[in-house]
Amino acid sequence: MSRPESRLGAHLPVSPPTLADVAERAGVSRQTVSNAVNNPDLLRPGTLERVRGAIEEMGYSPNRAARNLRTRTSQLIGLRVSPVQEGTANAMMDRFVHTLVETSALAGHHVLLFTGDDEDPVAGYDNLLRSTAVDAFVVTDTYLGNPQAAWLADQRAPFVAFGRPWDRASARHPWVDVDGAAGTRLATEHLIAKGHTRIAWIGWRKDSPIGEDRRAGWLTTMHEHGLSTTGLASRVEDTVQSGGEAAAVLLDESEPTAFVCASDTLAMGVLHTLWLRQLAPGKDIAVVGFDDSQVAQVYPVGLTSVRQPLEDVAVEIVNALQSLLSHQPAPEDGVLLTPTLVVRESS
């Protein structure tokens, strides 16, 4: 019969390997192991390979908390997330967040998601700054008048914005954005090539710089082809209902043969109106949305839509964050990426 203490000992947790254990296994000093983890460029290739082999073999994991105390960094990037707005098809940010998390991890950072207070949009940022819980922020709400970017700049808090500084031409923080005008130009050129000359626009209110940017692509392209835009434009709230109502008015008053919309949400409203009037998308009336949301991809007819390169946006943001945190200069004018057009049956 085995001794009781032997049976108990078999169930005791094994202590995780320490830096000293790895140093002994690799036959190097503790400082060499530390350099292999934190400053690998200081080691000779053979030594680095030997230490990394010992780390992998023993399953050693550096003590992040202790390292943070030494370096005064958390390896965390803060990202505020907002709830999906009811009545819209705007759920495409999942692609962006997924790639941001993956790319940040490869760069040695993790993304900390937090929510905020609509009445005090900087509250969540302020709490994290006071607790020094993050190294930097990614700001996605850059609509006109939003105080977050300006507030963070005033606090001298490192951040990169997904979106241009629309109302602060003098802003010098790094940003990455998608060229909305280029996207709607692609959509309008596509419809013109299909033979459409009366192409209507349904966009957002005039106080939305993103909406006006997208509208500019449609407007400029129509004028370049000598096509009239009189009576063919509508500005509404970004809801399915608003898109449907705007489409009904335009069909009755201006008789367009195609629609370009500032979002898939508005395009879904157009498709609903066509369904009520027994008009076939892509045959009787062409429809193009913007964002290439999951709704656009699974809609029975298939909605043609401008696809934002959100994965590329996330990669560029992480690149800018790395430059920022290593005190290297970021691009002064930001990074502007070009979308693509995904053609489906609706056009």
CATH of residue 25: 1.10.260.40
Mean pLDDT over the full length of the chain: 85
Cβ-based burial of 93 (10 A; exposed 0-12, middle 13-18, buried ≥19): middle
Q: What confidence tens digit (pLDDT) does each residue in 254-302 have? A: 999 999 999 999 999 999 999 999 999 999 999 999 999 988 988 888 9
| Percent of the chain scoring above 90 in pLDDT | 50
Kindly report the number of other CB atoms within 10 A of residue 274's CB atom.
23
Residue 346 lies in a domain: no
Q: How confident is the model at residue 75 (pLDDT cuts 50, 70, 90)?
A: confident
Q: What confidence tens digit (pLDDT) does each residue in 203-227 have? A: 999 988 899 999 999 999 999 999 9
Please state the pTM of the whole predicted model: 0.75
| 210 and 256 together in one domain | yes
Q: What confidence tens digit (pLDDT) does each residue in 147-165 have? A: 888 888 888 888 999 988 8
Tell me: pLDDT of 64 over 70. Answer: no
| 222 and 163 together in one domain | no
What integer pLDDT is reported at residue 65 of this predicted model?
42
| 317 and 300 together in one domain | no
What integer pLDDT is reported at residue 125 of this predicted model?
84
| 244 and 316 together in one domain | no
Residue 5 lies in a domain: no
What integer pLDDT is reported at residue 171 of this predicted model?
75
Q: Of 8-17, 49-58, 82-91, which one has max mean pLDDT?
A: 49-58
Range of the domain at 241: 180-307
Tell me: pLDDT of 305 over 60. Answer: yes
Residue 31 lies in a domain: yes
What integer pLDDT is reported at residue 21 of this predicted model?
84
Tell me: pLDDT of 2 over 70. Answer: no
Tell me: pLDDT of 184 over 80. Answer: yes
What end-to-end distance do the CA atoms of the chain give, in Å?
80
| 140 and 161 together in one domain | yes
Q: Which two structure tokens, joined as six digits, stand for 61?
A: 């994991």
Q: What is the DSSP string of 129-173?
A: HHTT--SEEEE----TT--HHHHHHHTT--EEEES--TT-TT--S
Angle, helices 19-26 vs 45-58, to 10°: value is 120
Tell me: pLDDT of 144 over 70. Answer: no
Q: What CATH number is associated with residue 218? A: 3.40.50.2300
Average pLDDT for residues 71-80, to the nearest whole number?
76
Angle, helices 180-193 vs 209-224, to 10°: value is 40
What integer pLDDT is reported at residue 89 of this predicted model?
55
| 195 and 158 together in one domain | no
Residue 141 lies in a domain: yes
Residue 108 lies in a domain: yes
Q: Structurally, how many domains does the chain consist of?
A: 3
| 130 and 212 together in one domain | no
| 300 and 212 together in one domain | yes
Residue 347 lies in a domain: no
| 277 and 316 together in one domain | no
| 298 and 203 together in one domain | yes
Place of tokens 């990169």: 160
Q: Which of 33-37, 49-53, 168-172, 203-207 has the lowest mean pLDDT?
A: 168-172
Place of tokens 């400029």: 220
Burial annotation 246-272 (CB, 10 A radius, 16+ → b, else e) = bbbebbeeeebebbbbbbbbbbbbbbb
Residue 295 lies in a domain: yes
| 243 and 102 together in one domain | no
| 299 and 271 together in one domain | yes
Residue 342 lies in a domain: no
Q: Of 47-61, 80-94, 202-216, which one has max mean pLDDT?
A: 202-216
DSSP state, residue 86? T
Residue 304 or residue 12, greater confidence: 304
What integer pLDDT is reported at residue 13 of this predicted model?
42
Is 302:315 a contact under the CB 8 Å cutoff?
Answer: no
